[in-house]
Amino acid sequence: MKVEKRGKIRIYFDVLRLLLKELKDSGHPSLTRVAHEANLPYDRFQNYLEHLIQLGMVSRREGKLVVTEKGLEYIGEFEKIAIFLRHMGLLP
C-alpha cells in the first residue's frame, strides 16, 4: 500500500489541530503525544513547532503553548479548502 507524502501545509494543519485538541483536553499539551499523533519524529516536530511560533500561529504564554488567533484562522481556512478539494474529487 502506497502512503501519501504530506506537505508542510498539511503537517502545519495536523500539528495545530492536535495541539489545540490537547489544550482543550488537558490544558497543558503533551508535546510527545502531539508529535506521535502527528506521525512525526520528535526532532522534526520541534522544527515545525518552532516555525509555527515564528509565523505567529503558536505562542508561549506563561510557560504554556497557545494556538493564536492566526493559528485558528489557518485551521479554519485549511478545512474549507479540504472540503472544496474533496467536492471537486481532488482529495479522497
- The C-alpha atoms of residue 14 and residue 28 are separated, in whole angstroms, by 18
Long-range pairs, 53-59, Cβ under 8 A, ≥24: 57/12, 57/16, 58/16, 58/19
What three-state secondary structure class fits 66? strand
pLDDT at 9 (0 to 100): 94
pTM of this structure: 0.90
Domains, the chain? 8-87 (1.10.10.10)
Backbone Cα Rg of the chain:
14
Q: How far is CA 23 from CA 40, 61, 66, in A?
A: 19, 13, 8
pLDDT at 3 (0 to 100): 60
Residue identified by cell 502506497 is 2
pLDDT in tens, the chain (92 residues): 656 788 999 999 999 999 999 999 988 888 999 999 999 999 999 999 999 999 999 999 888 899 999 999 999 999 999 999 999 998 87
